[in-house]
Amino acid sequence: MNTIYWAGDSTVQTNDYTTYPQTGIGQVFPLFIKSDYHVENHAKNGRSTKSFMDEGRLEAIEERIGEGDFLFIQFGHNDEKEQDPARYTEPFSSFIENLEVFIKTAKDHGAFPVLITPLERRCFGEDGVLDKGAHGDYVLAMKQTAEKNNVPLVDLYTKSRKALEELGEEASRRWYMNFPAGEYSKHPEESLDNTHLRYDGAVNFASMIAEGLKELGGIYKEILLDEIR
């Protein structure tokens, strides 16, 4: 059985009851793949490429990843936090350099790296129109890294922006941790979180990654359930 290892942040991580109803993309991705693949999700809340490596999380993947496995690499949200030197990376220097370490780790073990651009936040303006967003330079840097290193890329950023624009300001709230007080007994207070996801959002964004893998074709398409392919 081959493994899909996932390196990323809170938009990807596997949550438990203590953070319900928050749900990560990597948590639900098994819904889209064949039974002879499984996901080992190393994504963690608040991590950037820098802090992920500094904490030994990539090293933990390196100890386990092998030939024919996949390494999904999805960062950007926390790399852009200039005020936090423990996490910040400059998009066109240290961010790219770090991504190349992830790529090399996969390739050195005969595994297949896949870069995934960061998910867009639910960033609607007062006019109900989706703002420009904050990830632009990191998306561009990730695309440049993919081209330079000849590795596949799934552009979740563009796919998610398109979906949010189509869904609209009000309806898109159900995809994110944006809900009124009293909706959840475990989370009774109001939440205006436009970054982290609920189950509906995680499944929809995971489906966009599956769509991107289908578009890549070849071994990347082979991961997916026959009904999706």
Active site residues: 10, 189, 196
Report the DSSP pairing between strands 37-41 and 70-74: unpaired
* CA atoms of 110 and 224, how far apart (whole Å): 20
* CA atoms of 176 and 193, how far apart (whole Å): 7
Q: What type of residue is 120?
A: E
* CA atoms of 111 and 105, how far apart (whole Å): 8
